[in-house]
Structure 1
Amino acid sequence: MKIISFEKKIVCCLLVLAGLTGCSGGQSLPDLTSVTGSVMLDGSPLPSANVLFQPQEGKTAFAMTDENGKFELMYNQDSTGATPGSYTVKISKEKNPEEPGNELLPAKYNEKSTLSADVKADQENDFQFDLTSK
């Protein structure tokens, strides 16, 4: 039996919830603003990292970094962006996706995150996260 990591469970749950909210009929989306950024680890781009923006209340926005460590947040599977407000940011990446539970990043970036972001309406929201492996 294959064990799925905590972070992958979160991302899977968010994708399922995003799909459900996208199929909810006539519900309109809240005002969303574009949120982009990049993640560096020890001075190099961090590809294939999961990025979560978790508000105190409301919907978590999510993304995965590309090969250059860049990301664009998704509100759901069909809509980019996030609602304006303050977020706790969680970034995670497994050393080897075939062996779940091998988190590459220190807990201060994910499970015990000290990262935050303030998303502003009608402004450029481009966040740089410069992480260290220690």
Structure 2
Amino acid sequence: MLQQNWVTVCCLFVLMGFVGCSGGRSENPDWPERIPVSGVVTYQGDPVEGAEVTFTNTAASSTGAGKTDSGGRFYLTTYVERDGVVPGQQAVAIRCVEVIDNTPEGTDLSAGGVAATPEVKWLVPKIYSNSSKSGLSADVSEAGTNEFTFDLK
């Protein structure tokens, strides 16, 4: 009897694991409707890898974000992975930087060494990082593909 109870308890833990590992994709009834959004970012015709893309719907006080892959492709997330954004007019920001560590090699920071100020190298013009100055926008609608291409200059 003890062995049968042990097997039952183990099976329950396994089932709870499957339910608990569903990726946290459960919907909260208080969340607004979101529309899947994807797209591509290029700079001077070349795909931009590692860019942070942000869509902000100011009317709904809601923001979704995503990061570009090696082909410049992004998918936006508001609450759960790739759930998209609240539909409507979006102010768009795209930020892509490389942070360069200027600390001399061999500096032991744990022994009181001081790190040098890192250098920030903008891989796309800084203007695009501010949605109110970027000049970029998108209209996300319930009908349509909601696939956007941003060819930055």
Task: Provide TM-score, normalisation by structure 1.
Answer: 0.71
Going from structure 1 to structure 2, the CA distance change for 1:122 and 1:59 (only over 3 Å counts) comes to same
Tell me the residue number matched to 2:84.
81
2:99 is paired with a residue whose SS is: coil
Going from structure 1 to structure 2, the CA distance change for 1:48 and 1:56 (only over 3 Å counts) comes to same
Q: In structure 1, what is the Cα distance between the partners aligned to 2:94 and 2:149? A: 12
Percent identity of paired positions between Structure 1 and Structure 2? 33
Q: How does 1:21-60 map to 2 (within 5 A)?
A: 27-57=29-59, 58-60=61-63
Post-superposition CA distance 1:32-71 (Å, at most 9, x none):
1110000001111101100000111321100000111000
Q: Which runs of 5+ in 2 are unaligned?
A: 1-23, 102-117
Is contact 1:33–1:122 with CA below 8 Å preserved after alignment? no
Root-mean-square deviation (Å): 2.2
Tell me the residue number matched to 1:131.
152
2:121 is paired with a residue whose SS is: coil
Is contact 2:75–2:82 with CA below 8 Å preserved after alignment? no
Q: Which runs of 5+ in 1 are unaligned?
A: 1-21
Q: In structure 2, what is the Cα distance between the partners aligned to 1:50 and 1:41? A: 13
1:109 matched to 2:111? The reply is: no
**Which amino acid in the other structure matches residue 121 of structure 2?**
N
Q: In structure 2, what is the Cα distance between the partners aligned to 1:79 and 1:116? A: 19
Structure having greater relative contact order (Cα 8 Å, sep ≥ 6)? 1
Task: Provide TM-score, normalisation by structure 2.
Answer: 0.63
1:97 deviates by 6.1
Q: In structure 1, what is the Cα distance between the partners aligned to 2:140 and 2:73? A: 17
Is contact 1:91–1:110 with CA below 8 Å preserved after alignment? yes
